[in-house]
Structure 1
Amino acid sequence: MTLWTSRDAVAATGGRATRDFAVTGVSIDTRTIQPGDLFVALQAARDGHDFVAQALEKGATAALVSRLPEGVPEDAPLLVVPEVLAALEALGRAGRARMRGKVIAITGSVGKTSTKEMARIALTGQGNIHAAEASYNNHWGVPLTLARMPEDTDFAIVEIGMNHPGEIEPLARIARPHVAMITTVAAAHLEAFGAIEGIAREKGAVFRGLTQPGTAIIPEDLPVTQLLRDCADAAGALVIGFGQQGMAKPLKAETVDGATPVRARVLGETADFTLASAGTHFVMNAVGVLAALSAAGADVQKAAKHLSDWRPPLGRGAVEVLGGIRLIDDAYNSNPTSLSAGLATLARLTGGRRVAILGDMLELGPDEIAMHADMATDPSMLAVDLVHTAGPLMRALHEALPRDKRGLHAETAAELAARAGDLVAPGDIVLVKGSKSSKVSTVVDALRRTSQSTPPGERTA
């Protein structure tokens, strides 16, 4: 099905087409490009113009460029614009403008991608669904998601992220969501914001992009909940809280063998579902998702039924049987809030020794060492038997732990990974968690190499 004709793309971007074309997709990566795609020559770590010839050879119908790339003939199918990123943003705005369905935006310090996937899967059978790929939530990811959106989309789920002040509002204004959900506000990127209140204000800026009337889905029970409410009120949004005291809340959630049957009350409606996870943070986000979908006009009962089909993405809390151990792979990201949630998940699983393998939490600002040490007093640490640590910041936690809980410490995750066989024993329940840049995922890889893995999704525990 045609996504963009050259005429539509020219009208959206103000560019010049060298010839007529019709594309069926939009791509920024020649490694995954499909025949019929419009290749967008973004300038990032490398200049996308250097790959235009390759994209066309691999079947791209046309390329979005700001100049004639080297090795590309003048009569090649090109959409020439003054600046490629600005043109992609314009294409995203046009994609959003022509779509008549409902848009749901999801942001938060933790859980954006897993919550976006919950929403996508929960909407199964309720029309044409379009969602952001992977973690496409930044200055190019959001417009790319919208540029890829078919005109007949009934529900779109857009993920919006940030690293620095001022990033969320412009993306929200491009997406113009009908419903915006904040998963939580935590001490992430504190180097750029200075305090948790600054992070909350930045997250709350998502409400400024809401269509009118719009709905704000916010987490209750946070120290900054009122600040989020103030942001929503200032944007003229209807506010729905989710959490233990919210309009959407779990009534019952008990983990059994790693899965969690849940009964929830969502805007006056009772819904039952089972999550393939032991994490209470996943339960809360699932309840928030149901509130968001209800606000967008979806059927809550159908959505709850399909939540049972959701699985945590790799590296974000998925539980798998790995040889003789059970592994919680949460190595994609970490901050004090998400680490506390990960430890709570580990504490709820029973049947063996509980082992945590932890890499540095990054971008926490001047108090980062104290924040690492403070994790020794996290309530869930009482149930953890052994803690291995990697990284200069995690040394503070290693030294703060009681001696009987101290495992190995290494300055790098690679050093710890090299001793994978010494970290765990058959029967252990193992949490691996750290910021992505700490590369603690190398420990997960090492554990997989030394054990026989059951693929995630086939068997969970």
Structure 2
Amino acid sequence: FYPAKGDYYHCELVSADPTVVVRTEEGATVATHLVGAYNFENIAAALCIGKFFGVAASDAHQAIAAYVPSNMRSQVVVKGTNTVILDAYNANPSSMEAALRNLALMKAENKLAIIGDMYELEEETAAEHERVGRLLTELRLPAWVCGAHMQHAAKVNPAVMYFPDKLKLVAHAQANPVGHTTVLIKASRGMGLETILEYL
């Protein structure tokens, strides 16, 4: 159905740094408020559904341009000189990988991943957090990792800064202010990692 040429609806990803820009099949370039190339498929799906139900292209374009994510789901927040991608509503292995890869692709000179535990992984907990640690090594991303499970990421990647709890993370953030940096904040909901935003 979408988004490749020859499909019912065709559109292309122009950029995602930090927010997604698409070129529609009508030739319009539409800037959205959604972060990450991983959201391109969602935008393409919305445009495809709009076409199917006879929504005017201009109205569909306006709708995706006007949508502003909230509730800590890929929100872009400007905090001082920092651009923060606040994605602390939830985290699982696939969404964590997508968010980290997206951060790595951004052109920002300074980047920092502040990430916390992924919950409800049962017997896969240690292995999946180790995988995050190895991914951070592969992507060469500076990271502050927080939570009991993230010790597994720190074990395989000694370059990350590990904090067993948010109090220690906050203390570090206060003592080491971040500036002119694109920051990703991501963790499972139970971590409440969005509270670190106040200290950036």
- TM band (smaller chain): 0.7 to 0.9
Matched, 1:446 2:199: yes
Structure 1 residues 222-241: aligned runs within 5 Å: 240=1
Query: Relative to 1, partners in 2 of residues 1:368 and 1:254: Cα closer, same or farther, differing over 3 Å?
Result: same
Query: Relative to 1, partners in 2 of residues 1:389 and 1:379: Cα closer, same or farther, differing over 3 Å?
Result: closer
Task: State the AA in 2 paired with 1:387.
Answer: A
Q: 26, 30, 42: which is aligned to 1:285? A: 42
Structure 1 position 244, deviation (Å): 5.5
Structure 1 position 393, deviation (Å): 1.0
Q: Give the corresponding residue for 2:129.
A: 372
Structure 1 residues 50-89: aligned runs within 5 Å: none
Structure 1 position 423, deviation (Å): 5.3
Q: Give the corresponding residue for 1:294.
A: 51
Q: Distance in 2 between matches of 1:362 and 1:249?
A: 37
Structure 1 position 284, deviation (Å): 1.7
Q: 163, 169, 172: which is aligned to 1:416? A: 169
Task: State the AA in 2 paired with 1:391.
Answer: G
Residue aligned with 1:418, SS: helix
Q: Distance in 1 between matches of 2:176 and 2:69?
A: 24
Q: Distance in 2 between matches of 1:410 and 1:255?
A: 30
Q: Distance in 2 between matches of 1:243 and 1:352?
A: 31
Q: Give the corresponding residue for 2:23.
A: 263
Structure 1 position 345, deviation (Å): 2.8
Asked if 2 retains the 8 angstrom alpha-carbon contact of 1:414 and 1:443, the reply is no
- Report % sequence identity: 24
Q: Give the corresponding residue for 1:391.
A: 147
More helix by share: 2
Q: After superposition, give the CA deviation of every residue in 1:24-78 in whole Å (9 maximum; x if it has no partner).
A: xxxxxxxxxxxxxxxxxxxxxxxxxxxxxxxxxxxxxxxxxxxxxxxxxxxxxxx
Q: After superposition, give the CA deviation of every residue in 1:396-441 in whole Å (9 maximum; x if it has no partner).
A: 111222x3x312x222223312332245522221111001101212
Query: Relative to 1, partners in 2 of residues 1:348 and 1:312: Cα closer, same or farther, differing over 3 Å?
Result: farther
Query: Relative to 1, partners in 2 of residues 1:423 and 1:439: Cα closer, same or farther, differing over 3 Å?
Result: farther
Asked if 2 retains the 8 angstrom alpha-carbon contact of 1:343 and 1:381, the reply is no
Query: Relative to 1, partners in 2 of residues 1:299 and 1:364: Cα closer, same or farther, differing over 3 Å?
Result: farther
Asked if 1 retains the 8 angstrom alpha-carbon contact of 2:3 and 2:12, the reply is no
Q: Give the corresponding residue for 2:160.
A: 406
Structure 1 residues 22-421: aligned runs within 5 Å: 240=1, 242=2, 247-255=8-16, 258-265=18-25, 272-378=29-135, 381-384=138-141, 386-401=142-157, 403=158, 405-407=159-161, 409-421=162-174
Query: Relative to 1, partners in 2 of residues 1:425 and 1:370: Cα closer, same or farther, differing over 3 Å?
Result: same
Task: State the AA in 2 paired with 1:399.
Answer: K
Asked if 2 retains the 8 angstrom alpha-carbon contact of 1:325 and 1:426, the reply is yes
Q: After superposition, give the CA deviation of every residue in 1:330-365 in whole Å (9 maximum; x if it has no partner).
A: 111111111122113322332332111111111123
Query: Relative to 1, partners in 2 of residues 1:300 and 1:378: Cα closer, same or farther, differing over 3 Å?
Result: farther
Q: Give the corresponding residue for 1:113.
A: none
How many matched pairs?
A: 199
Query: Relative to 1, partners in 2 of residues 1:348 and 1:311: Cα closer, same or farther, differing over 3 Å?
Result: farther
TM-score when normalising by structure 1: 0.39
Query: Relative to 1, partners in 2 of residues 1:244 and 1:367: Cα closer, same or farther, differing over 3 Å?
Result: farther
Q: Which has the larger radius of gyration?
A: 1
Task: State the AA in 2 paired with 1:382.
Answer: L
Task: State the AA in 2 paired with 1:304.
Answer: H
Structure 1 position 327, deviation (Å): 1.1
Residue aligned with 2:55, SS: coil
User: Structure 1: which 5+ runs fail to align?
Assistant: 1-239, 448-461
More displaced stretch, 362-371 vs 312-321:
312-321
Asked if 1 retains the 8 angstrom alpha-carbon contact of 2:133 and 2:152, the reply is no
Q: Give the corresponding residue for 1:25.
A: none
Structure number with the bigger relative contact order (C-alpha 8 A, sep ≥ 6) is 2
Structure 1 position 247, deviation (Å): 4.3
Task: State the AA in 2 paired with 1:358.
Answer: I
Query: Relative to 1, partners in 2 of residues 1:283 and 1:380: Cα closer, same or farther, differing over 3 Å?
Result: farther
Q: Give the corresponding residue for 1:131.
A: none
Q: After superposition, give the CA deviation of every residue in 1:230-282 in whole Å (9 maximum; x if it has no partner).
A: xxxxxxxxxx4x456864454242235x34321134xxx65541113441122
Query: Relative to 1, partners in 2 of residues 1:392 and 1:247: Cα closer, same or farther, differing over 3 Å?
Result: farther
Asked if 2 retains the 8 angstrom alpha-carbon contact of 1:360 and 1:390, the reply is yes
Q: Distance in 2 between matches of 1:374 and 1:352?
A: 25
Query: Relative to 1, partners in 2 of residues 1:252 and 1:316: Cα closer, same or farther, differing over 3 Å?
Result: closer
Residue aligned with 2:122, SS: coil
